[in-house]
A and B are shown apart, each in its own frame.
Chain A
Amino acid sequence: QQQVKQSPQSLIVQKGGIPIINCAYENTAFDYFPWYQQFPGKGPALLIAIRPDVSEKKEGRFTISFNKSAKQFSLHIMDSQPGDSATYFCAATYTGNQFYFGTGTSLTVIP
């Protein structure tokens, strides 16, 4: 059973656009929600993370929006660039031991 559901599977935007990737979870015990960015041939790298006591977090061009009542969170990439083309994974954990990952979103930013 998929603990974290991610959509869309793929996304194509023009340079400067704002891609939005969505994730939903069921386990209300989750208390940490990171987003990872993965380039081909590389391991995932932590991009930004949020805890459920805040509704939004911004770091540079990346923003997480968190809706605790709906059990949903999303990643927004402002002013997207071709270098942002990668696969993005949302994740969740409540122990810090086991992380549950979404199935990934392949983002392509067209110049």
Chain B
Amino acid sequence: DAGVTQSPTHLIKTRGQQVTLRCSPKSGHDTVSWYQQALGQGPQFIFQYYEEEERQRGNFPDRFSGHQFPNYSSELNVNALLLGDSALYLCASSSISGANVLTFGAGSRLTVL
């Protein structure tokens, strides 16, 4: 049973560029959350998607946007990249019926130069 898969695993961008990160949730999960983990810090909640709608959003600017597809997979888009956006971006999936149990992917490591 595949867990949460994320792509790409690593990527390097320059300031001002745009990036798209992708996530496939664990089989049987219908909810996807995105977290940003800066080096040496805990994950910070970006937003959560359920039924293709943004359900809740953390304290992140509008440069961060997302999408959920009918097959429950999700994308995270970040526009106008800043140096401070360099981080590990984690996707976590859950079931709406068991929302407290998050399964994380290995993350996408973004470096902004």
Say whether A and B bind each other. Answer: yes
Binding site for B on A (CB under 8 A): 4, 6, 32, 34, 36, 41-46, 49, 89, 91, 93, 95-104
Contact A97 B55 (CB under 8 A): yes
Binding site for A on B (CB under 8 A): 4, 33, 35, 40-45, 48, 55-56, 58, 90, 92, 94, 99-107
Q: Which residues of B have CB within 8 Å of A45?
A: 104
Q: Which residues of A have CB within 8 Å of B56?
A: 95, 97-98
Closest residue of A by beta carbon distance from B101: A46
Q: A43-B4, A103-B42, A104-B40 are in contact. Are A98 and B101 (CB under 8 A)?
A: no
Secondary structure at the B interface, as helix, strand, loop or mixed, is strand
Closest residue of B by beta carbon distance from A39: B106
Q: Which residues of B have CB within 8 Å of A91?
A: 42
Q: Which residues of A have CB within 8 Å of B90?
A: 43-44
Contact B104 A43 (CB under 8 A): yes
Closest residue of B by beta carbon distance from A6: B42
Q: Which residues of A have CB within 8 Å of B44?
A: 101
